[in-house]
Structure 1
Amino acid sequence: MQNQNISDIIERYLKSILADSRQVEIRRSEIAQLFNCVPSQINYVINTRFTIQNGYIVRSKRGGGGYIRIAKVNLTEDSTILDDLINLIGDEIDLNKAFQIIQSLFQDGFLSRREANIILASLDKKTLAFKSSKLENALRARILVNVLNRLRYDD
């Protein structure tokens, strides 16, 4: 545990709770107190590790009775989630975010390891080796959106 940072520990803690249920409701200050860190550290973990491309939806309510609700979603069961994901991709996506999406689909059991690896190979920097990263990210987005749409309608 010496090589782990506090963000990794908080992430693992929240994911262990989510392993038992598909949703967790937390109070930022309580979690910060539990891990003896500042509340902004909790925000950082949630904003970077519990994203839609990682298969999570986060809702929050601010104020005295405020909470943060994290829900694990199956990206392919709910078409609105796929629509949100496609909107998030937009006209460009970098390799890291594309990888997170494919990894979530694999972890949800919607893609086999082989299928995920084939898709990742088509999105890789070596495949899309353009001098312009903007062009590379645009082409990656087009490929990924088409793959997601194909998965949605293919039995």
Structure 2
Amino acid sequence: MSDDLRGDVMLRVNGADRVLRVDNRVTLLDALREHLRLTGTKKGCDHGQCGACTVLLDGERANSCLLLAVTVDGRAVTTVEGLADGDDLHPLQRAFIAHDGFQCGYCTPGQICSAVGMLAEAADGLASWVSPDLTAAGDLDDEEIRERMSGNLCRCGAYPGIVAAVREVAER
């Protein structure tokens, strides 16, 4: 590989500054998995359609398979590995366990990261397509949760547990 295709990228990943020398064509997903060995973020469809690769980019949900690593230089990335505080799981991680919000677990990291971002969006008052009242967009019933999480697919069909887990944390 030619050196003119490589560049330095600085990312703040899970609270730590990391400098990577990567090919300009490397996706954020591949940089996380292959260069930083953060394998919680999964490669599902590699087309941004399944949500398995969802991470938080400056606190907002993002499909890491669609982003070139060089385009997120200087930004903060949170993966599922960065949600827990040591051995203390994030409330959504605990709720997914309590409500059986997974079966095979492949989509779970993306589901959890997406739920963290989605709850922040709702708390900020952002409406979804099914929000009946645009001034009360933070109210999350099951229909709202399903709509807001619709970019994350679960091939096992663990949706009832996923919705219950998100609802539990949203109600706190």
Same fold (TM over 0.5): no
Q: Output the TM-score relative to the length of structure 1.
A: 0.32
Structure number with greater CO (CA < 8 Å, separation at least 6) is 2
TM-score normalised to structure 2 length? 0.30
Specify which structure has the higher proportion of strand: 2
Larger radius of gyration: 1
More helix by share: 1
